[in-house]
Amino acid sequence: MSKLVTIYGGSGFVGRYIARRMAQAGWRVRVAVRRPNEALHVKPYGTVGQVEPVLCNIRDDASVRSVMQGADAVVNCVGILVESGRNKFSDVQAEGAGRIARIAAEQGVEKLVHISAIGADKNSPSLYQQSKAKGEALIMQHFENAVILRPSVVFGPEDQFFNRFAAMARFSLFLPLVGPNTRFQPVYVEDVAAAAAKALTGDVAPGVYELGGPDIATFRELMTLMLAEIRRKGVSLPIPFPIASLVGGALDALQTVTLGLFTNSVLTRDQVRNLRRDNVVSKGARGLEAFGVTPTPMTTVLPSYLWVHRPGGQYKAIHESAARLRKE
């Protein structure tokens, strides 16, 4: 019988690409999510019954254990960008990660891959980065042979980075930027998935790997690239950190007073703290090359999905071509 991998958060942006690669490699894939009925898009990644979404709450031992039964390998892709309701950074990204590692060790799982993030630091002023660091520590405490992947900003068709600002540019001339000079090293989602798959199927040394693409650019430069790709004019509007903190604080307070009826997915104070630090691969860190993966440039991928934000959508390129012919 083929091997089985349980992927916690396997229907999310990064998780779905890992699920697809593992199915293509012949593995059975169990996608553990909170809402299986919203994860049916993963089923066609394999043959009938090869990829199955299952219900799981990573805050509960019994739930985590039940979906791990019989698994040869485990991947943890669960993460949140904003706290809401019972989903707190400490519960999901720290305690949840530790719970998965502890139960994996108890059940004799062979390999464990954990998706973290560049900037994970127990001394960071950001609660998000603190929880990422604590999650990594708990992973290694319970499963010392784990592979931890720390990607920079991940881009791809379903990303919430380029797509988010491109959508904003469709309706506004101004793009508010908090930390316009903060540097990023965007990494293609397929490259992250390839590294995770290699960690599961190959002979990869345990430990931490930082994943970044071939290009380093400031927030402002990335927005300039995005605007050129969607053929729209836009003006970057730098927001000073003190003002951004006030705005984030006000929106956080609104989420609190509305008892969660309003979820602050716009800008939080914690996100402002994150944006004060560069998000690039550390000097000397092991990266994609350790998995035999060549980083993919943004310019080869962005045109394949950002075209939907162009004024003429998929026909914009045709119009441009026709305009050049008329000039000739």
Residue ranges and CATH numbers for the domains of the chain are 4-155+185-215+279-293 (3.40.50.720)
What digits encode the pLDDT tens for the residues 37-62?
Answer: 999 999 999 999 999 999 999 999 99
3-state DSSP assignment of residue 203 = coil
- What distance in Å separates the CA atoms of residue 284 and residue 2, rounded to the nearest whole number? 37
Q: At what angle do helices 96-106 and 127-142 cross, to 10 degrees?
A: 10
For the chain, report the end-to-end CA distance as a whole number of angstroms.
63
> What pLDDT score does 260 carry?
86
What φ, ψ does residue 233 adopt, rounded to 5°?
A: -90, 140
How do residues 120-164 score in pLDDT, each as one tens digit? 999 999 999 999 999 999 999 999 999 999 999 999 999 999 999
- φ, ψ of residue 172 to 5 degrees: the values are -140, 140
Average pLDDT, the chain: 95
For residue 178, is pLDDT > 80? Answer: yes
